[in-house]
Structure 1
Amino acid sequence: MISATAMAILATSCVGTKKYQALQADYSSLQGRMNAIGQENADCQSNLSSANVKIAGLQDQLRAERANAQNLQASAQSLQAALDKCLTSTSQGNVNISKLVDEINSSNKYIQQLVNSKNKSDSLNMVLTNNLTRSLSREEMKDVDVQVLKGVVYISLSDNMLYKSGSYEISDKANETLSKIAKIIMDYKDFEVLIEGNTDNVPISKPNIRNNWDLSALRASSVVQALQNTFGVDPKRLTAGGRGEYNPIASNDTPDGKAKNRRTQIIITPKLDQFMELIDKAPEPDSTVTPPATTN
């Protein structure tokens, strides 16, 4: 590079002042451009260094993201495997649940059949009870208890209503009630009828009556003969029996209990074919007919 002193000597010796000044100006301009270029180069170097730092950071971030992606992929595969296992278990569980539902439905059908049978049986009982009590007055119902158990009718008559005191002879006031019961028996002409006498446990001492066995049997026989001779019931359908004091329905320790045990039962039993016919005629379970209160 030419020094300033050399330039000055050259200028003095070779060119004029104006030419020198022009060269000097060109030199200054060139020098300024060179300085600017140097600054720009320095800035470029600085920017390059910054860019290299950013690139290195982005490369580190890229490597981290790639590693994270691999972890996520591994997690996704693990979750997929777990889901497949769960779906398999769920499928098996659905099969078990389906079997359980079938079993429950089967049980419900069986329970419904039992309910329907019970409703039909209750309806049959209601039909028989209504038929037997339709003509009895409220006053008569105080001495008459009607129960229907499994198609068998039990009509319990108190001894106070049926017999004279301490006797086995039918009282006059019993005839009206017996006539109504006889009409029902006649309506069901193919039913078997058992007349059963019962007493309390108080010993009896009367001529020709040895004990409560005799008394209960004689009272049952009196009702049978009244049904046959007075009300025209076919004697072939009738059976008289005595159970003495050995079929109590209450305690004999109280007067009220003794009174309940002193009774005569008329037991009306349908034959199998009549029983099935009654079931077919029984009203539906949702019938609006309200059955009278009975003790089953």
Structure 2
Amino acid sequence: MKKIALLLLSVTFLASCVSKKDYIELENRYQKSQDLLNSTTVKLNSCLTDKAGLEARANSLEERLADLKKTNEDLIQSSKDLTMLTAQGASNLEKSLESLKEKDLKISRLQDAISKKDSVTLALVTSLKREVGINDPDIEISVEKGVVYISIADKLLFKSGSYEISARANEILAKVATVIKGKPNFEAMVEGHTDDVPYKNGLLLDNWDLSVKRATAVVRALQSQGIDPGRLVAAGRGEYVPLVPNDTAENRATNRRTRILVLPKIDQFYEMIEEEMKTLSEEEKK
């Protein structure tokens, strides 16, 4: 007990000898060290999680490889055990195994081509979000099944019942056009959407006409920014594909929108796959 009392007395004495400024500085250094430790701990936990995921994937691949090897060994063993198997039959079995191997390689090449397309799509989305500005609640950029969607509220593009592009719209569409021009392997389809309030201007027949005119107006705006018109498609959906029921003013405003679909050219996508197949054939000849 005497030793503990002496130790406490010494600590108290030393603490009283430290100036308030030094104490605050030490306290700040301690806090920074603690923050650094916490940050490092978070990063370590993230790395450990990633490591566990990679190890699990590696184990799964090793198991699959082992299964394939076992299957191959079983087939070879079965061919040896079948004493009545003719030489032609054995040759056919070998060809079948080679065919399976070739198909597996082709599937792998196809997956590589799809991965390349997905990588380009991801780069496209990143460019659009950076150029257009994803923080604007009236502009939404998303990806669904490999297609990039840019949805723009009509209040940014047109006045009520009009299909003339606004100054603000030209600014937005110029940014969109800049990104699309940099992706020559992609096409852009513009969809016009309205609410269900009947069109009464008299210049057009109905909302379907209005949606088409708005789509063509956006297409022309994109073309004026230097996009090849052969890469542009205009489509009107009228009131027939609403996002929400047209039962309130807010919902009707949500349904009045223009969507720009940026999608890969199908023919060029298949050309990419054919190129992969050609590379495979050349490698097999070596």
Question: In 1, distance between residues paired with 2:267 and 2:159?
Answer: 39
1:122–1:271 CA distance, 2 compared to 1 (3 A): closer
Cα shift at 1:171: 0.5
Q: Aligned to 2:221, which of 219, 226, 233?
A: 226
1:152-163 equivalence runs, <5 A: 152-163=147-158
Cα shift at 1:137: 2.9
1:266 partner SS: strand
2:130 matched residue in structure 1: 134
Q: Aligned to 1:184, which of 162, 168, 179?
A: 179
2:140 matched residue in structure 1: 145
Amino acid across the alignment from 2:222: L
1:135 partner SS: helix
1:149–1:205 CA distance, 2 compared to 1 (3 A): same
1:131–1:278 CA distance, 2 compared to 1 (3 A): farther
Percentage of matched positions with identical amino acids: 47
1:169-208 equivalence runs, <5 A: 169-208=164-203
1:168 matched residue in structure 2: 163
Cα shift at 1:273: 6.5
Amino acid across the alignment from 1:136: V
The question of 1:255 aligning with 2:252 is answered: no
Amino acid across the alignment from 1:151: G
Question: In 1, distance between residues paired with 2:270 and 2:248?
Answer: 42
Q: Which runs of 5+ in 2 are unaligned?
A: 1-62, 69-107, 274-286
Cα shift at 1:269: 1.4
1:132–1:275 CA distance, 2 compared to 1 (3 A): farther
Contact kept, 8 Å, 2:134 with 2:140, in 1: the verdict is: no
Question: In 2, distance between residues paired with 1:277 and 1:136?
Answer: 31
Cα shift at 1:224: 0.8
2:82 matched residue in structure 1: none
Contact kept, 8 Å, 2:134 with 2:141, in 1: the verdict is: no
The higher radius of gyration belongs to 1
Task: Note the alpha carbon deviations across 1:9-60, whole angstroms, 9 max, x for none.
Answer: xxxxxxxxxxxxxxxxxxxxxxxxxxxxxxxxxxxxxxxxxxxxxxxxxxxx
Cα shift at 1:143: 1.7
Q: Aligned to 1:239, which of 224, 233, 239?
A: 233
Question: In 1, distance between residues paired with 2:232 and 2:118?
Answer: 27
Residue-pair matches, total = 169
2:167 partner SS: coil
Q: Which runs of 5+ in 1 are unaligned?
A: 1-100, 107-112, 280-296
